[in-house]
């Protein structure tokens, strides 16, 4: 039997429905939730991602503000911009679009965001809280991936999970989410020797590298849940890390690229914005 497709557009609808309810409740109490995004540089991919976030916010009734800088922006300018946004009462959530231009210490910028306004969950405080099992605000992509796995009904407790990514965007927070659910987790990266020896043991396999064809059918355990968060161009076509046509004959569930993780990332971001506004209302 070919793998069942995990449609991120479908799974995200329940999350978006909850966000709409929270936004409506906030507005009844006189709060208009607002996300501010800091974008530095001239990356076409970053431009696209920010535009998608803006569109989602507008559809959900969340106010959106973009603060844009060129490639030659200084670290101090970004720090001051984030500080100014953080001090504003009308801004409930702040996101610094990664990657930042070369030479800028991302944590010097990210840690200027108060944990109570950290839309992406990348500040040192929120990453540390996740270590202690506090999942109030978590990386949008990592949380989206977890929700996709949960949507399959696959058992996470006691399962072997392999994550081919070790960043703060995906691998590190996602590993903690799975560990919190009593899975056995292995993280692989660029330096991992014999990648297939690790992926073949995984009941749940997540990859987010951006290298087409990285994961082939012989690298996947029969019946595994495969989540492809990689994104790259192959000619005019957008593809992930997984050899989709071959791997779908081996896996039990698989995400498409595009249409899998992407919609969930946006939905979880909107959820974080609404949650942060709620937390500030109750403070």
Clarify whether 166 is annotated catalytic.
Answer: no
Residue by residue, what is the 3-state secondary structure of 260-271?
CHHHHHHHHHHH
* Sign of the torsion angle spanned by Cα atoms 13, 19, 22, 27: negative
Residue 74 CA: distances (Å) to CA of 32, 101, 211:
32, 9, 31
Q: What is the DSSP letter of 47?
A: H
Catalytic residue among 53, 117, 221, 248: 53
CB contact at 8 A, 67 and 39: yes
Clarify whether 280 is annotated catalytic.
Answer: no
Clarify whether 4 is annotated catalytic.
Answer: no
Catalytic residue among 120, 203, 241, 243: 120
| Maximum C-alpha span of the chain | 56
* Encoded tokens for 196: 């297939």
Dist CA 94 CA 84 (whole Å)? 11
Catalytic residue among 22, 97, 221, 241: 97
DSSP 3-state of 173: helix
The residues near 12 (Cβ < 8 Å, ≥ 6 apart) are 144, 263, 264, 266, 267
What's phi and psi for 55, nearest 5 deg? -60, -45
Cβ-based neighbour number of residue 262 at 10 Å: 22
CB contact at 8 A, 215 and 170: no
Residue 207's beta-bridge partner residues? 164, 228
CB contact at 8 A, 269 and 276: no
Residue 34's beta-bridge partner residues? 63
The residues assigned a catalytic role are 53, 97, 120
């Amino acid at each position: 039997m070919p793998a069942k497709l995990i449609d991120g557009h479908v799974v995200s609808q329940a999350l978006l429905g909850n966000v709409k309810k929270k936004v409506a409740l906030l507005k009844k109490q006189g709060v208009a939730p607002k996300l501010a995004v800091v974008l530095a540089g001239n990356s076409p991919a970053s431009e696209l991602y920010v535009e998608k976030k803006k569109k989602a916010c507008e559809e959900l009734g969340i106010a959106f503000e973009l603060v844009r800088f060129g490639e030659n922006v200084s670290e101090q300018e970004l720090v001051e911009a984030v500080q100014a946004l953080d001090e504003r009462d009308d801004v409930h959530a702040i996101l610094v679009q990664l990657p930042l231009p070369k030479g800028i210490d991302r944590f010097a910028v990210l840690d200027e965001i108060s944990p109570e306004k950290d839309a992406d969950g990348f500040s040192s405080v929120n990453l540390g809280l996740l270590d202690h099992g506090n999942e109030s605000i978590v990386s949008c992509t990592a949380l989206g991936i977890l929700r996709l796995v949960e949507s399959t009904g696959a058992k996470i407790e006691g399962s072997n999970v392999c994550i081919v990514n070790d960043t703060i965007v995906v691998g590190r927070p996602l590993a903690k989410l799975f560990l919190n659910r009593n899975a056995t987790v292995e993280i692989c990266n660029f330096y991992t020797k014999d990648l297939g020896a690790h992926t073949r043991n995984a009941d749940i396999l997540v990859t987010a590298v951006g290298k087409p064809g990285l994961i082939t059918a012989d690298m996947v355990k029969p019946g595994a849940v495969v989540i492809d968060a990689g994104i790259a161009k192959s000619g005019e076509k957008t593809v992930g890390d997984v050899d989709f046509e071959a791997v779908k004959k081996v896996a039990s569930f698989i995400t498409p690229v595009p249409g899998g993780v992407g919609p969930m990332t946006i939905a979880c971001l909107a959820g974080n914005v609404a949650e942060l506004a709620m937390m500030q209302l109750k403070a």
